[in-house]
Amino acid sequence: MDNLIKICGLSTPETLDAALGAGADMVGFVRIPRSPRHVSLDLGHKLSLQARGRAQRVVLLLNPGDEDIAQAVEAINPDLIQLHGSESPERVAEIRSMVKRPVMKALGVAEPSDLQALTSYADADRILLDAKPPRTADALPGGNGIPFDWRLLNGLDRKVSFMLSGGLNPDNVAEAIRLTRTQAVDVSSGVEVGPGRKDPARIEAFIRAARTAFAAAHH
């Protein structure tokens, strides 16, 4: 698997351009109305056109119904669907066959037992390991800026293809790559100056730090 860097929760043409210009491999568009990073179908469509051919386009959905999925796929035409809710392995398989495109399933991690769910999601094309959200009523399913203990992944089967997320930022991404030996990283709040407000300078710094760490990991 190639090393991949995903910038998620992009919601303006300017910040998307910054991510694409800095060399992001994947760009994520959030379809969760209560998220500060939520994009309308119309805006998602425009941003997707802007990114076409320059990066893999990911649409992030939370326990979506069939209609939600159909609308998002039609408007945004994503290269990959990211499921960030409590979707069952059966639902993941169902969505994958419905949309005829790859699906990435996010799993929240806080303790070793959380990793046992990995084997259930064999039908997902990729697994995103994210920090479990805090147990507060207003907590979002992701983008909370909190890392989990990366040492939990020490015993993970190296054949498992996962993307690391949760609390990553330009200052800690190199350490995260070194400790977990992940080949893919995902950032959202770690490159923001406020909820949902991406910072081009932080996006560039994150991508530069991750690329350098990936290069070092191969030596």
From the candidates 8, 125, 138, 149, give the one annotated as an active-site residue. Answer: 8
Q: Indicate the CATH number of 4-217 among 3.40.50.300, 3.10.20.30, 3.40.190.10, 3.20.20.70.
A: 3.20.20.70
Q: Which two tokens stand for residue 82?
A: 């990211």
Catalytic residue status for 17: no
pTM confidence score: 0.94
Q: Spell out the domain ranges in the chain.
A: 4-217
Distance CA 84, CA 159 (A): 22
From the candidates 123, 130, 149, 157, give the one annotated as an active-site residue. Answer: 130
Provide the pLDDT for residue 122: 86
Q: Residues 170, 154: contact at Cβ < 8 Å? A: no
pLDDT along the chain (219 residues), means of 10: 91 98 98 95 98 98 97 98 96 96 95 91 93 66 73 84 94 96 95 96 98 90
Provide the pLDDT for residue 218: 76
Provide the pLDDT for residue 155: 81
Provide the pLDDT for residue 85: 94
Catalytic residue status for 123: no
Provide the pLDDT for residue 146: 76
